[in-house]
Each structure stands twice: as C-alpha cells, then as structure tokens.
Amino acid sequence: MKLHYSSTIDHLTKVFNRTSIEKHLITEIKRTKLTEEPLTIVSFDIDHFKSINDTFGHPTGDSVLQQMAFLVKDSIRKSDPLGRWGGEEFLIVLPNTDHLGSGQLIMNLKNGIESFNFGVDKTVTVSFGIGQHKKK
C-alpha cells in the first residue's frame, strides 16, 4: 500500500503525480468514447512562480505549491482527478463536464486563488488552459 501511494502521489503536493494523472486521463478518454459523455481537461500554472522562489526562497515556493494543490483539490469534485503535471503546472480531469461547467469552475478557482493568502507579500495568480474531448 505504501509503495502504491508513493508511486502515484506527488510527494510535495499530495495530489496525483504526472504518470498517475496521465493514466486517469487515458481511462476517462476511453470511457468517454463509449458513453459519449463530455470530458474536459483543465491545465493551469502559477504565474511568475520563479519570482516567488527567487524572492521568498524555495521553501516558500514549496509551501505555495502545497497550498495551491490543497485549495484546488478542496474546490473540485472527488470524481475530478487533480495532478501535478510538472513544476508549478497542474492538470484537472473533469468527467461529465462540458465547456460551460468547466468555465464556471475556472472562474471560481481563479477568484478563490487570487483572494487566498499564500503567505507571500503578493497576490498569487494562475493561468488556465482548457480542452474538451468530443466524439469524432
């Protein structure tokens, strides 16, 4: 059990690691092809993250990443896998969600993140990308 956990979870942020989130994505694409239900993928990264590390130090940068993962995970459905894609980049897989539902989620996340106190002397913002898997 401990080995499975350490092989699927990002040690810093405690969300899925890149390999795991890719597996979730592939599984959901296969499921969506069968069910024809919508599937949306949201990617986001922390704006100017390098300046957070350079100004406040890497331990503070790590804390921002941890808090970001917790905040986002707490704001999405349990059925929506969240993973750390790399560095300060994350991916959310949104089964049964179309572009309207994901757009509302993005606005809620953006507002929540920008109003959250990450313990640094600046507003932390993120940039989002969105993609929807559709039946061909």
What DSSP assignment string belongs to the chain?
Answer: -HHHHHHHB-TTT-SB-HHHHHHHHHHHHHHHHHH---EEEEEEEETTHHHHHHHH-HHHHHHHHHHHHHHHHHHS-TTS-EEEEETTEEEEEEET--HHHHHHHHHHHHHHHHHS--SSSS---EEEEEEEE---
b or e along 120-130 (b: 16 or more beta carbons within 10 Å of the residue's beta carbon)? beeebebebeb
Q: Reply yes or no on whether 37 is catalytic.
A: no
Candidates 22, 36, 37, 88; catalytic one: 88
Give the catalytic positions in this structure. 88
